[in-house]
């Protein structure tokens, strides 16, 4: 059972570089979301999607873009990375009225 798969597991970027964090789920979940985890701050919601073609902003959306062209995939794009985006990123998915399933995370460092 693959569940929620995130790639890459680790990434180092220079300030101003762009990259895409990949997230895929094989459970046919309608809801997908991206969180960032920072020390002492828990998880904060970046963007979420309630279905293919629909996305919305969470608590900390600035500097990130998302798209949901398929039910399975929900990539997170950093257009111009900044040191403040150094964090651990988690993708999660769920069906309506069901619990969240989390990926194993992507550790991103921006120098």
Q: How far is CA 8 from CA 22, 79, 89, 91, in A?
A: 7, 17, 10, 12
Contacts of 99 (CB under 8 A, 6+ apart): none
Q: Which is nearer to another protein, 34 or 81 (CB)?
A: 34
Of the ranges 18-26, 63-71, 72-80, 96-104, which one interacts with another protein (CB under 8 A)? 96-104
Dihedral (CA of 106, 65, 73, 33) sign:
positive
Least distance CB 60 / another protein (angstroms): 12
Stretch that binds another protein, among 14-22, 65-73, 76-84, 95-103 (CB under 8 A): 95-103
Q: What is the DSSP string of 59-110?
A: SS-TTEEE--SSSSB--EEESS--GGG-EEEEEEEE-TTS--EE---EEEEE
Residue 27 binds to another protein (criterion: CB under 8 A): no
Is residue 71 part of the contact set for another protein (CB under 8 A)? no
Asked if 26 touches another protein (CB under 8 A), the answer is: no
The distance from CA 59 to its chain's CA centroid, rounded to whole angstroms, is 13
One residue of 74, 94, 108, 110 binding another protein per CB under 8 A:
94
Site of interaction with another protein (CB under 8 A): 4, 31, 33, 35, 40-45, 48, 50, 90, 92, 94, 96-100, 102-105
């Amino acid at each position: 059972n693959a569940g929620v798969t995130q790639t890459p597991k680790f990434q180092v970027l220079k300030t101003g570089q762009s990259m895409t964090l990949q997230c895929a789920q094989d459970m046919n979940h309608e809801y997908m979301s991206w969180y960032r985890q920072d020390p002492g701050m828990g998880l904060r919601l970046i963007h979420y999607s309630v279905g293919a073609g629909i996305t919305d902003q969470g608590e900390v959306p600035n500097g990130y873009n998302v798209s949901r062209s398929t039910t399975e995939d929900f990539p997170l794009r950093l257009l111009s990375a900044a040191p403040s985006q150094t964090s651990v990123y988690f993708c999660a998915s769920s069906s309506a009225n069901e619990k969240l399933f989390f990926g194993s995370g992507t550790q991103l460092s921006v120098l």
